[in-house]
Structure 1
Amino acid sequence: MITAALAFAVAAVIVNVVPGLDTFLVLRTSAAHGRGCGLAAALGIMTGCAVWGLATAAGLTALLTASHVAYTAVRVCGAAYLVWLGARALWGVRRRGEDEAPEPVVAAGRRAAFRAGIGTNLLNPKAGVFYMSLVPQFMPDGAPVFGMTVLFTAIDVAELAVWFWLVSGAAAAMGERLRRPSLRRRLERLSGAAFLGFAADLLVDRP
């Protein structure tokens, strides 16, 4: 059991540090609003991961991938949410003058950051597929499936906590430069394009 847990921990680290939507959201929120908001977004993401992990333990994610309609519904809702975030960022840059900082795509405040984190994670069926596809590969023979899945989920969330702590700290340290409106505008353009790119990737995904 210990060997399986360690093997899963190594695999999860590799997956978690690969740049993706979750890391981008924490990075962007920390740079624009400070480490507190970045960690709030991270908490939302980790809450979503915990929900997906428990759903996997209960066998619900298997139903999600088995049902094309359910998977597509979650995928389209997630893509629509990302399109809204991306369009909001690009529109905010366009409607303001060159000397004005744009309105941030993710509103200031820890509650708003938390909602953005949990929303982007729970509306991404890939998060559920991650647990459903990775967990069985490390399940020891004869081990209780529910208990081991919960353990693997806890390991993954703990690793994410450490990773997001590092990411948010580095991003917040650079956040002072973003007080210049020109740099804020560039960040919002990048955010808008990135969110639209993640939406496109989600739309073309198949279970």
Structure 2
Amino acid sequence: MTGIVNYGAFITAGILLNLTPGVDTLYILTRSCTGGRRVGVASALGISTGILFHLTLVSLGLAAVLASAPSAFFALKCLGVGYLFYLGVKAFRESGSALGDAAGRARPASLLRSWRDGALTNALNPKVALFFLAFLPAFVAPGAESSPVPFLLLGLTFLATSTVWNVLLAVLSGSLLSALNRSPSARLRAVRGSGLVYWLLGLGVLVSRPS
């Protein structure tokens, strides 16, 4: 009825992929260690929002169009690279404020902005759509490829496991902020390091191909 085959194997594979360090893991670790648990969780939920965006494209067949249209793929890639480089520049420009107030505590970041940044960095990354185009069809029953139902159900399952892991990762890594706050210079280096991370993520998107 659902058009799904080997659902148990899909869940297992999805969890293993969630646990494998990747772009999302690096991004969440960076945001959590420099902004704290709340910022990390907001960023993780933003990542999930971006995943949901790509799942919708895949379910509606739009991601296949993106993968087969070099100009559309290039345009989306440029937007993603540009936004990541913007976050990197922003981190360096704001690194002076990373020293915090007189008490040595970091200034709180906007949770809405943290969610937005996570959502945009993922939604503007065409590599996410390509991943789902390659991964999901293996678990769709023959003859059900034209229906959006199996793709949506598989995608939502992956989204659920991914969100749980990313939020847990944000909570655990966010505890490092208190240690950084005890050393303003260490926190300053961490914030500047986050800028480099954003640029490296941008370079990763830049070299992606629609094949």
Q: TM-score, normalised by structure 2?
A: 0.86
Shift of 1:193: 1.3
Partner of 2:22: 20
The gaps in structure 1 that reach 5 residues or longer are: none
What letter matches 2:169 in structure 1?
V
- On the 8 A contact 2:5/2:139 being kept in 1, the answer is no
Aligned residue pairs total 200
The separation in 2 between residues aligned to 1:91 and 1:109, in whole angstroms, is 17
Shift of 1:2: 6.8
- Superposed CA offset, 1:107-158 (max 9, x none): 7121011101101010100111111111111112244631111111111111
- On the 8 A contact 1:101/1:182 being kept in 2, the answer is no
- Superposed CA offset, 1:55-98 (max 9, x none): 101100000001000000000110111111112223434xx39x
Deviates more, 1:156-165 or 1:70-79: 156-165
Counterpart of 1:201 (choices 199, 204, 209) is 204
1:97-108 paired onto structure 2 within 5 Å: 100=99, 108=109
For the pair 1:131 / 2:144, whether they are aligned, the reply is: no
Deviates more, 1:21-30 or 1:56-65: 21-30
For the pair 1:188 / 2:191, whether they are aligned, the reply is: yes
Instruction: Provide the aligned C-alpha RMSD in A.
Output: 2.2
Shift of 1:51: 1.5
Shift of 1:13: 2.1
Q: Which runs of 4+ in 1 moved over 6 A?
A: none
The separation in 2 between residues aligned to 1:100 and 1:159, in whole angstroms, is 36
The gaps in structure 2 that reach 5 residues or longer are: 102-107
1:4-83 paired onto structure 2 within 5 Å: 4-83=6-85
Q: 1:33 to 1:201 in 2, by over 3 A?
A: closer
What letter matches 1:188 in structure 2?
V
The separation in 2 between residues aligned to 1:84 and 1:47, in whole angstroms, is 20
Q: Percent identity?
A: 32
Counterpart of 1:178 (choices 177, 180, 183) is 180
Deviates more, 1:68-77 or 1:178-187: 178-187
Shift of 1:101: 5.0
The separation in 1 between residues aligned to 2:20 and 2:59, in whole angstroms, is 25
